[in-house]
Amino acid sequence: MKLELTREQLQWKNDFKMFVDEVVAPSAVESDREERISPEIIEKLKEKGYLGSMLQKEYGGMGLDWVTIGILNEELGRGCSSVRSLLTVHGMVALAILRWGTDEQRSRLLPSMAAGSTIGAFALTEPEVGSDAKNVQTTAVLLDDCYVLNGRKKWITMGQIADIYLVFAQCEGKPTAFLVESDAPGFSRTSITGMIGVRGSMLAELHLDDCVIPKENIVGLIGTGLSHVALNCLDYGRYTVASGCVGLGQACLEQSIYYAGQRKQFGLPLRENQLIQKMLTEMAVNVKAARLLYYHAGYLREMMDPDSIMETWKTKYFASRMVNQVASDAVQIHGANGCSRDYPVERYMRDAKINEIIEGTTQMHEVFIAKNMLS
C-alpha cells in the first residue's frame, strides 16, 4: 500500500498550513496566557468551515476524507493544541448525533454544528469517575415527557462555551447518552483554570441539579451510551488527538532545528554537536513514524475497515508517547531558555503531557492493546 497523499490532500495541507501560520499560531501564546480561545479565532474557524470538517456536505460540512481530517488536526496541533481540542470535542458530539441520533436531531443540530453556530462538548468524566466510565454516577430518570438528570461532570473541554453537551448518565441502571443544552433548567457550569497545559481548552465542571430535558434528547437506546455512542465518539477523539500530537511534535522539531542553528556554544552552532544531531534525528524519525501511523489509520477508516479501531488505539498510544519525548528533547536542546515562557517549547512540553491522559490514558491503551493481541 502506498502511503502517499493525493494532489487534493496536498492542496488541503497547504491551505491548512497557511491558515495556521497566519491565524492560529500567532494567537497560541495569548490562548495559553488568557486560558481561552479568543472569539475572533473561533469566528475564523467558522468562516473556513473547519468546525464542520467531520460532517458531510448534506449537513453543511466539508465532506473531507479521514486522512485529510487528520491533516487538518495535525496542522492545528502544530499551531495550538487548544484550538485542536475544540475540533476534537465538537466533532465527537457531531458524529454521535450523525450515527446514533434521530432524523429530527440530525436535521435540527448538524447544520448549525457544521456552521459553528452551535458548539458541542463531550461530557463523560466525573469528579470520581475517569477511565472506569461504565460506573458514571450521574443519573437520568424519565418523568412524564422529560428526563431529569442529576450529577456532576468534570474536566469538560470547551465546557465554558458549549451550547450543547453529550452527557452520559445511568438510566434504569444502564449507561445512556443524552443531549443537554446549555439553557436547560437545572443546568449550570463553573470554569476550571490553572491546568498544566492546553490551557485554552476552556474546561468546566457541569452541574446537573434536577436538570430537565425533553425525552427526545436521548441519543441511541437506553444502555447503549458506552458500548455504541461513546465508543464511536472516542474513536474519532483518539484519531484527532494522535494527529494533533504529530503537529505538536513537528512544532518541537522545527523550533529545535532553528534554535540549534542560532545558538552557539564553544564557538560553534549547537547543530554541529553530534549529541544534538542525534536528538534531532530521533525527533524527526519519530514524528514521521507517528504521521505514517495516522495516515494508515485514516486510510482504514476511509475504507470502513474494522481494523481501523485498533489501529487508531495504537496510533494514539504511539503518538502521545512520542510527543512527550520530542517535547522533552526540545526543552533539553534549548537548555535554560527551554524553561522560559519566552520560548514556545516550554508551552509545547506542558501541552504534550495532556495527550497521554485525554481520550484514554497511556496505561489504558497498553491494557486494551495487549488484551486485543492475546484474545
Q: Are residues 214 and 230 in the same domain?
A: no
Residue 237: the pLDDT is: 97
Model confidence pLDDT, tens digit, residues 218-256:
999 999 999 999 988 999 999 999 999 999 999 999 999
Model confidence pLDDT, tens digit, residues 299-312:
999 999 999 999 99
Range name among 107-111, 115-119, 134-138 with the lowest pLDDT average:
134-138
Residue 4: the pLDDT is: 85
64 within 8 A of 9, measured Cβ to Cβ: no
Of 178, 202, 222, the residue that ends a domain is: 222
Instruction: Note the helical H segments in the chain.
Output: 7-19, 28-34, 39-48, 66-79, 81-100, 103-115, 231-262, 274-302, 307-334, 344-354, 362-374
Q: Is 312 contained in some domain?
A: yes
Range(s) of the domain holding residue 144: 120-222
Buried b (16+ CB within 10 A) or exposed e, 211-246: bebeeebbbbebebbbebbbebbbbbbbbbbbbbbb
Q: pTM for the whole thing? A: 0.95
Query: What total number of domains does the chain contain?
Result: 3
Average pLDDT for 96-118: 97
Q: Are residues 255 and 149 in the same domain?
A: no
359 classed as catalytic = yes
> In a 10 Å sphere around its CB, with 0-12 CB exposed, 13-18 middle and 19+ buried, how is residue 65 labelled?
middle
Q: Are residues 248 and 348 in the same domain?
A: yes
Spatial separation of the C-alpha atoms in residues 143 and 90, rounded to whole Å: 29
Q: Are residues 94 and 133 in the same domain?
A: no
Average pLDDT, the chain: 96
- Percentage above 70 pLDDT, the chain: 99
Measured over the CA atoms of residue 14, residue 20, residue 22 and residue 26, the dihedral's sign is negative
Pick the catalytic residue: 126, 346, 356, 359? 359
pLDDT band at 2 (very low <50, low <70, confident <90, very high): low
Q: Is 216 contained in some domain?
A: yes
